[in-house]
Amino acid sequence: MNIGNFRIDKTSPTFIIAELSANHGHDINIAKETIKAAKEAGADAIKLQTYTADTITIDCDNDYFKIKSGTIWDGRTLHDLYKEAYTPWEWHGELMEYAKKLDLICFSSPFDKSAVDLLESLDVPAYKIASFEITDIPLIEYVASKKKPIIISTGIATLSEIDDAVKACRKVGNNQIILLKCTSAYPAKIEDANLKTMKNLKETFNVEVGLSDHTLGVSVPIVSVALGAKIIEKHFILDKSIGGPDASFSLDKQELRLLVDSVREAEKAIGKVDYELTDKKIKSREFSRSLFVIKDIKEGDMFTEENIRSIRPGFGLSPKYTDDIIGKSAKVGIQRGTPIQWSLIE
């Protein structure tokens, strides 16, 4: 599948998404500077979130709407949090156009149908379903019906709920599905990453997989590449001093650059299955072990463990022939330090 001009398949590089989220302080200039910094740090895409406080919840302060789940936002109401965190809808077109000028792919996570309609009017190249929306099957069907790649975070879902989400996409004829392993804690503990789950998701649902990461630092996403992640999503902030709901677990520009460089190095290291002996490898074989004469041998003398040995360098016969040679006679006199060849053996 393609997201914009980026091809995602088993041989493609990892698609690295910088998540803008709430990291703009309600200043569009900060948002633009953040997009520019993401491009300069090497990200492939910038992702927005498309909701308002009133499209994602209601303004109510009873216990149901107060956050009390051991998060960094405990004590606040949902409406209050989302009023601070949302990206104004009137910015979307301008931000997407700005990203386009920088040759940076820009798309978003919609949180209701009206958000999808807005994003469709802006011709986004893909959609992201956030972890907490994975159980909203009508929303997923509506998004999938737009026939664009759909990236789904699985942070809070059971296996059955992930199956429901995948089936919802396929029900409307959309098989451009990528599932992201996600730990929905902010920040998440490294020991809770359980990256092996990605392989199981890929095998179970026959889709590409990736990681939406909320751990601190870059270790977890780097490891995910070795386990098959084709997408990595990380929250990104221009400067942590901006503050905001997501600042504490977001990467700054230097950290994102480290992530991108480390992922690209990991991809090079993973490489491909390769047993070919290059010229360099052949040259290096000179330092391997082989059979040498270690004591002078007269013509007709027998080869023994006392006069031949497996030593470096590698100009003689392979040590695997030791038992075939012991007990045989020398055709000619052989000086100490001579590599053994079949032509020397009677």
Lowest mean pLDDT: which of 7-16, 239-248, 299-308? 239-248
pLDDT at 280: 87
* Domains of the chain (ranges, CATH numbers): 2-51+86-270 (3.20.20.70), 279-344 (3.90.1210.10)
Phi and psi torsions of 342, nearest 5°: -60, -25
Q: What are phi and psi of 82, to 5 degrees?
A: -75, -25
Contact 107, 45 (CB under 8 A): yes
Using CA atoms, how far apart are residues 304 and 233, in angstroms rounded to an integer?
A: 64
Residue 277: pLDDT over 90? no
Q: Residue type for 69, please? A: S
Provide the pLDDT confidence category of residue 166 given band limits of 50, 70 and 90.
very high
What pLDDT, on a 0 to 100 scale, did the predictor assign at position 184? 85
Tell me what pLDDT residue 273 has.
87
Per the DSSP assignment, residues forming a β-bridge with 15 are: 231
Compute the average pLDDT of residues 240-267.
93
Q: Which residue do the tokens 């007990």 mark?
A: 327
Mean pLDDT (whole number) for 48-76: 92
Q: What is the pLDDT of residues 18-28, one digit of tens each?
A: 999 899 999 99
Q: Supply the pLDDT for residue 185.
A: 85
Q: For residue 116, is pLDDT > 90?
A: yes
Q: In 10 A of CB 281, how many CB atoms?
A: 10
Average pLDDT (171-190) is: 94
Q: Which residues, 6+ apart, have CB-to-CB distance to 305 below 8 Å?
A: 326
Could you report the per-residue pLDDT of 65-82, keeping only the tens digit for each?
999 877 788 999 999 999
Q: Evaluate the omega torsion of the peptide bond into residue 187 and state whether it is cis, within 30 degrees of 0.
A: yes
Close Cβ partners of 127 (under 8 Å, ≥ 6 residues apart)? 107, 108, 109, 110, 116, 119, 143, 146, 148, 149, 150, 151
